[in-house]
């Protein structure tokens, strides 16, 4: 059995497709996404000579972050904002009730609050190679949009949304 790598092609940062079931308008304009890092907790064993670090028993997952271009009607930005407003209901309880009763995004996720997301990683020939599945995704942070009449170049708006989730899993596609 060889210990050498069989595939010597490098992973391209542009080779991906991302889908978030609840936000198809955001998904279409998505141009940057991450595979979150994870951290294993450390247990400390004290001894009379030196304290020893041992592997802990809990993983902490970093946030899933998506950057997307904003359409001029703000439909994709509002799609995320409405989801967050429904979760936080800043004006009235009617906002969470509306979120829970939306038929357009209705699925089996607990009261329409969560969504599942999938990141497909493409190989050097742009064929699907790996699938990263995120469970129970919900947004908690959305960037601001700063308008500036003094700008000399037109840089189209992008927004960044950060998500929490219960777990993710990377699986190969055959």
- Mean pLDDT of the region 17-45: 92
The per-residue pLDDT for 104 is 62
Tell me if the pTM is above 0.75.
yes
CB of 159 closer than 8 Å to CB of 145: yes
pLDDT tens-digit profile of 115-126?
Answer: 999 999 999 899
CA atoms within a 13 Å half-sphere pointing along the CA-CB vector of 23:
29
- Mean pLDDT of the region 57-61: 92
| Average pLDDT of the chain to the nearest whole number | 90
Ordered domains of the chain (ranges, CATH): 16-34+62-172 (2.30.110)
- Triad 23, 28, 34: Cα angle to 5°: 80
- Mean pLDDT of the region 10-28: 89
- Mean pLDDT of the region 49-53: 93
- Mean pLDDT of the region 128-157: 94
| Rounded Cα gap, residues 68 and 75, in angstroms | 12
């Amino acid at each position: 059995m060889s210990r050498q790598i069989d595939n010597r092609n490098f992973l391209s940062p542009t080779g991906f497709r991302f889908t978030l079931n609840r936000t198809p308008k955001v998904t279409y304009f998505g141009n940057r996404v991450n595979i979150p890092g994870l951290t294993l907790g450390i247990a400390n064993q004290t001894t009379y000579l030196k304290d020893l670090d041992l592997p802990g028993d809990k993983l902490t997952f970093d946030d899933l972050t998506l950057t997307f271009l904003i359409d001029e009607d703000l439909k994709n930005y509002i799609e995320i904002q409405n989801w967050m407003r429904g979760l936080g209901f800043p004006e009235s309880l009617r906002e969470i009730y509306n979120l829970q009763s939306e038929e357009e995004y209705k699925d089996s996720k607990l009261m329409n609050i969560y969504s599942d997301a999938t990141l497909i990683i493409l190989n050097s020939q742009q064929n699907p190679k790996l699938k990263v599945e995120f469970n129970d995704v919900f947004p908690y942070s959305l960037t601001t949009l700063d308008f500036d009449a003094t700008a000399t170049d037109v840089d189209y708006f992008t927004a960044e949304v950060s998500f929490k989730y219960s777990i993710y899993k990377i699986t190969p596609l055959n």
